[in-house]
Amino acid sequence: MSESAPPIHTASEHLKRAIRDIHDFPRKGIIFKDITPILQDAGLFTQAVNLFVEANRGRRIDKVVGIDARGFLFGAAAAYAMGAGFVPVRKKGKLPAQTRTASYTLEYGEATVEIHCDAITPGERVVLIDDLLATGGTAAAAVALLGELKADLVETQFLIELGFLNGRERMGSAPVRSFISF
């Protein structure tokens, strides 16, 4: 983070104010937390990425793992800034090489994510990044995949956490950090 960047708590407040609520998306009764205003503003996007970078300062991180799709935005940028590799966790059928898969339940069905089998060498230190922790199903599936690959999971990190949905509880023993809470 540059010397002129605001402290983390100030950056989090600026970012929180930029997030807009979209009612009844993707279906009736859901209030979607839209981060596109952050992505569209260079200063806000930089602040968001810097939150992840600063959270990992002083740690050896070999790989940043980003969850499809918004985790790619923050994860890849943070990996670049940290001098780490980037590994995508994708929706089923999107990765070309041999994969490991993990399925999880949604409030309206089931979904599956996957990771390349050779994406992580056992013992590599990784941080898992995504934009939002809600019910925790997708992140828990990603954590399970990292366990199968014998990664050393340093922390799971989320720009936003919807605390009332208790997603943190599904992370098991994986450390969880979020920068903005609703």
Residues with a catalytic annotation lie at 70, 107
Task: Give the position of tokens 């200063």.
Answer: 43
List the beta bridge partners of residue 89: 67
Question: In 158-171, which positions are buried (b, 16+ CB within 10 angstroms) versus exposed (e)?
Answer: bbbbbeeeebbebb
Joined together, the tokens standing for residue 177 give 């950090």
Residues 6+ apart with CB under 8 A from 61: 82, 84, 125, 126, 127, 154
Query: Cα separation of 6 and 59, whole Å?
Result: 21
Element (H, E) at 141: helix 137-148
∠ CA 68-71-75, nearest 5°, is: 125
Distance separating the N- and C-terminal Cα atoms of the chain: 25
